[in-house]
Structure 1
Amino acid sequence: MPANPVAENVLGTMGTIFWTAQLVPQVWKSYRSKSTEGLSPLLVLMWSISAVFLGVYAIVQNLNIPLILQPQLFGALCLTSWAQCQYYGNKRSLRTCLAMYFGAVLLLGGFEAGMVFAVKPSYNEGNNRPTAFFGIAASVLLSIGLFPQYYEIWKHGEVIGISITFMTVDLLGGVFSDLSLAFKPKFDVIAGIAYTLVVVLDGVVLVAALILNPRARRRRRRQARLVEMEEGGSDAPPESSRAVTPRVEEGGAVAFDGANPPISDGSSQEKGLGAQDG
């Protein structure tokens, strides 16, 4: 495919927009529900670390500006979601969560800046191995990060806690980033693998949601019906406890409405017969 700088930057910008906005639905969902149940904190933490490695790779490789900004914004939002997991899930104080967030930002940001200055001289001299290491490490961390989320899906039997909109936008960000690389003079294989892995692994979560979530809803409806049936059966009074209304018929005989007459002992029956004979 011929190089096209305009298409490269346009598609890269679209990928950046999607990857920047992707975690906003997840952050909003967690804030609105005041819960991060079903969302693995390891997922967002490992993705924030992978963003550092991808950022070093993008800066040293001098990818287009949108693809350089992309991992920085992505990592910051991942840390925001991770801090929410600490606040809502682990019940840490707000002050502690803010300290953890800004501490992680400073630590990871400082590491990224240091690695850029450490790797760039060797890259300028023609040694691509350190740069390739950061690109490959980013791909590995992106992939491994989703496995804890797969465990959460297996544990709950459905996709909960994680925003489907978030996963869809994340997938689209990977698609547009891949397309952006296709219009570079030379396709960057390592970056392409990283973005393609995001597309594939996010796709697995979306397919799981399409299959498992309807099953889980049907299962909950069946359980609700069973509970209603059990409660309805327990509310009905037993046959022996129903009200019995006696009435006197012609000739002095006594009849009972609503149930069988109560069983009386033989002495009372004999007394009744004696009274009638008298």
Structure 2
Amino acid sequence: MLVNPVAENVFGTMGLVCWTVQLIPQLWKSWREKSTEGLSPWLVLLWAISSPFLGAYAIILNLNVPLILEPQLFGTFCLVSWCQCHHYAGKRSWAVAAAMTLAVALLLAGFEVALVYAVRTTFNEGSQAALRATQFLGIFGSVLLGLGLLPQYVEIWRRREVVGISCLLLMLDMLGGVCMDLSLAFKNQLDIVTGITYSLIVVSP
């Protein structure tokens, strides 16, 4: 395997940029149209819930900085989109929608911190139980990403067309996955679970 820390961080940063801004076109589209019609709130909520699992996984394994930052930023933008869903589709006031979103954000942040502190020390000591727990975090986070797509597919099937989803979001999502996979390819040890996660993101849209 070709180890290249510079290439690892360059591709990781490119992937981070793509995934950081990927939901911005969707947020802008929803705000401009004052509607989240066709966008399943379960999609962005399940994606947001996956972020503490994937974030804790990246921190415990001490992956490169872009790969650690990505789940945090991704989860944040997902929650902003979820807030829009509650305001535009759920007809809740901005204050109520924002309060709900903040409560979920604090819950997920605390949960991620708890996961890291519960596993990292024993993981660094070489505990096999901690290793399996860490693998579970990565796998379960990936499963949540996949499950998040199901309600959106149901929404598309129900309408018989794609409505409310930004095409630019899908393009940046796939490009980010490719860059993140390339970043992992230049790491001294290939992380299979993370690689599968990012590959699923590339093929799922």
**Letter matched to residue 103 of structure 2:** G
Equivalent position of 2:108 in the other structure: 108
Q: In the alignment, is residue 85 of structure 1 matched against residue 88 of structure 2? A: no
Please, which runs of 5 or more residues in structure 1 have no aligned partner? 203-278
Task: Report how far residue 173 of structure 1 moved.
Answer: 0.8
Choose 1 or 2 for highest CA Rg. Answer: 1
Residue 45 of structure 1 pairs with residue 48 of structure 2: no
Question: How far apart, CA to CA, are the structure 2 residues paired with 1:51 and 1:17?
Answer: 16
Aligned amino acid, residue 104 of structure 2: A
Partner residue of 1:25?
Answer: 25
Q: Which amino acid aligns with 1:123?
A: F
Q: Which residue of 1 aligns with 2:176?
A: 173
CA offset at residue 63 of structure 1? Answer: 0.3
Shift of 1:137: 0.5
Deviation at 1:122, TM superposition (A): 1.9
Q: Which residue, 163, 180, 188 being the options, matches 2:191?
A: 188
What is the rounded CA distance, in whole Å, between the counterparts of 1:11 and 1:104 in structure 2? 31
Counterpart in the other structure of 1:75 = 75
Please report how far the alpha carbon of residue 121 of structure 1 lies from its aligned counterpart in structure 2 after TM superposition.
1.5
Whole-Å Cα distance in 1 between the matches of residues 86 and 197 of structure 2? 28
What CA RMSD, in Å, does the superposition of the two structures yield over aligned residues? 0.7
Q: Could you say what secondary structure the match of 2:63 adopts?
A: coil
CA shift, 1:28, in A, is 0.3
Deviation at 1:143, TM superposition (A): 0.5
Gaps of 5+ in 2: none
For 1:241-268, what per-residue CA distance to the aligned partner results, in whole angstroms no more than 9, with x for missing partners? xxxxxxxxxxxxxxxxxxxxxxxxxxxx
State the Cα distance separating 1:105 from its structure 2 match.
Answer: 1.1
Name the CA distance, whole Å, in 1 between partners of 2:75 and 2:83: 12
Would you say how many aligned residue pairs link Structure 1 and Structure 2? 202
Report what 2:14 is aligned to. Answer: 14
- TM-score normalised to the size of structure 1? 0.72
Residues 137-185 of structure 1 deviation map (CA, whole Å, 9 limit, x = unaligned): 1110011100111111111111111111111101111110011000001
TM-score (norm 2): 0.97
Shift of 1:125: 2.0
Q: Partner letter of residue 12 of structure 2?
A: G
Tell me the alpha carbon deviations over residues 109-146 of structure 1, each in whole angstroms, 9 at most, x when there is no partner: 01001110001022112221110010001110011100
| CA–CA distance in structure 1, aligned partners of residues 169 and 178 of structure 2 | 14
Q: Deviations over 1:52-91 (max 9, x none)?
A: 1100000000000011000000000000000000000010
Give the Cα–Cα distance (whole angstroms) in 1 for the partners of residues 157 and 79 of structure 2.
Answer: 24
- Identical pairs, percent: 59
Offset, 1:6 = 0.3
1:68-217 aligned at under 5 Å gives the runs 68-126=68-126, 127=128, 128-202=131-205
2:196 alignment partner AA: I
Whichever residue aligns with residue 162 of structure 2, its letter is V
Question: Residue 174 of structure 2 aligns to which amino acid in structure 1?
Answer: L
What letter corresponds to residue 28 of structure 1 in structure 2?
A: W
AA aligned opposite 2:57:
Y
Structure 2 match to 1:64: 64
CA distance, structure 1, for counterparts of residue 92 and residue 34 of structure 2: 13
> Which letter does structure 1 place at the counterpart of 2:175?
L
The residue type paired with residue 202 of structure 2 is V
With a CA cutoff of 8 Å and minimum separation of 6, indicate the structure with the bigger relative contact order: 2
